[in-house]
Amino acid sequence: MRYRDLDRIDLDATKEKVRQWMLAHPAGTPDQMAADLKGDYPKFPEHMAIVLRGFMASLQDNPGELDPGQPPRADPVTLRAAAPGSRD
Cα dihedral 19, 24, 26, 28, rounded to 10, equals: -90
Output the pLDDT for position 30: 96
Burial (CB count within 10 angstroms: exposed 0-12, middle 13-18, buried 19+), residue 48? buried
Which band of pLDDT confidence, cut at 50, 70 and 90, is reported for residue 18? very high
Quick: pLDDT tens for 27-52.
999 999 999 999 998 888 999 999 99
pTM, rounded to two decimals: 0.71
Quick: pLDDT tens for 49-59.
999 999 999 99
Cα separation, 88 vs 85, in Å, equals 9
Query: Could you tell me which residues come within 8 angstroms of residue 87 by beta carbon, excluding any fewer than 6 positions away?
Result: none
